Amino acid sequence: MRDCYEILGVDRSADADSIKKAYRKLAMQYHPDKNPGNAEAEEKFKEAASAYEILSNPEKKAQYDRFGWQAFQNGGGGRGGAGAGFQDMEDIFSSFGDIFGDFFGGGMSSSQRSRSRTGPRRGSDLRYMTEITLKDVIEGAEKEIEFETDDNCDVCNGSGVEKGKQPQSCNTCGGQGQVRVTQGFFQMLSTCPTCQGRGSIVKDPCKPCKGRGRVKQDRKIKITIPPGVDNGTRLRVSGEGEGGFRGGEAGDLFVEVRVKEDSRFEREGDHLYGRIDPDYVQLLLGAEVEAETVTGKLKVKIPKGAQVGEQIRVAGEGVPGLRSGRRGDLYVTLGVHFPEKLTKDEERLLKEIAEKRGIGLSEGSRISFWGRKK
């Protein structure tokens, strides 16, 4: 996919207003009402909408700026998760319809509108962000998430009309939901101001939904986060998005994962990297030490004579692969800890060692320079 900024023809430093303007201009240019049957225009229209969807949302924009399309395309190769971007024209209008508002009156062509206003229609997809820990990444987790969404009113099945009553055809538009208006050089179809495009007037509104045909619903669901997910992985929960319209299918819920940083470990693919600082004596004599990891205690064997900066590989203590389930490795870099103060006894012993090894401590003891690294 092309770069979002390139698609909209704006600079990376463009502010929200210029981004919106640039999108609006492209959306007008490639609008399906102005390019009937032009597949290329439709592609351009979708492309611009996909770019705008990201750049108009500060959170997504920040992610895009860091990771590019990568951030939205199946995360780290995760399961589920549709690619970024819009496939369906109706999704574009339901997301950004307002941007066309004063020009195209809602934006859908007449055939699209009549289909969506009266027939069943799929609910929108929803997005949800959840934060997890590195421990959750390793072990997998169950999360309960809560959100509010729109659902079809079951009492009137989305018509907004009280049971047993009939909606009345709108006189202004003759039941079409649209009226012709002339704007500049164009003659356009615009949403009927009397019925707001429904084509009918509700004289007896359904009580539970107050004539909207939709009801708010609090949703609480449990999601399973598989081991191995990474920052930006999107999990698709089928059918948990916004409820469908008039018997249409529900949308999907996309849960995007953010992994809280653990200051002790860095992740690269399925491997983890960390450091321990053994006491200089442990380093010299070799030792078996135990260190706290995110999931428990881990034994690390420090070989006798190990050097500072040396890396010890602990197999199978990394992060599980999302597909394979096989855990990567943990690489432990050895630092060193020297005591800040020595007891008299320690000092005496160390001086003895120095003497035995012929290591000079006084003025004039020789040492060599090396390059900075090593």
Contact positions toward Zn ion, by CB under 5 A? 153, 155-156, 170, 172-173, 192, 194-195, 206, 209
Nearer CB in complex with Zn ion: 195/306 = 195
Nearer CB in complex with Zn ion: 107/197 = 197
Reading phi first (left if > 0) and then psi (alpha if -120 to 50, else beta), residue 366 is in: beta
| Least distance to Zn ion, CB of residue 109, Å | 17
Nearer CB in complex with Zn ion: 94/190 = 190
Q: How far is CA 251 from CA 35, 223, 225, 346, in A?
A: 28, 16, 20, 71
| Least distance to Zn ion, CB of residue 207, Å | 7
| Least distance to Zn ion, CB of residue 105, Å | 12
Contact 200, 175 (CB under 8 A): yes
Contact 228, 189 (CB under 8 A): no
| Least distance to Zn ion, CB of residue 194, Å | 4
Nearer CB in complex with Zn ion: 60/214 = 214
User: Residue 107: phi, psi to the nearest 5?
Assistant: 95, -20
Distance CA 275, CA 27 (A): 52
Six-digit token string for 41: 């225009």
Nearer CB in complex with Zn ion: 153/314 = 153
Q: What angle do CA 225, 227, 229 make, to 5 degrees?
A: 75
| Least distance to Zn ion, CB of residue 115, Å | 17
Largest interatomic CA distance in the chain: 108
| Least distance to Zn ion, CB of residue 215, Å | 7
Nearer CB in complex with Zn ion: 62/181 = 181
| Least distance to Zn ion, CB of residue 88, Å | 26
Residues 6+ apart with CB under 8 A from 163: 155, 156, 206
Radius of gyration of the chain (CA): 32
DSSP 257-313: EEE---TT-EEETTEEEEEE--BHHHHHH-EEEEEE-SSSEEEEEEPTTPPTT-EEE
| Least distance to Zn ion, CB of residue 171, Å | 7
Distance CA 208, CA 159 (A): 12
Nearer CB in complex with Zn ion: 203/348 = 203
DSSP 3-state of 317: coil
| Least distance to Zn ion, CB of residue 94, Å | 20
Nearest to 26 by CA among 15, 95, 106, 5: 5
Nearest to 127 by CA among 303, 254, 296, 12: 254
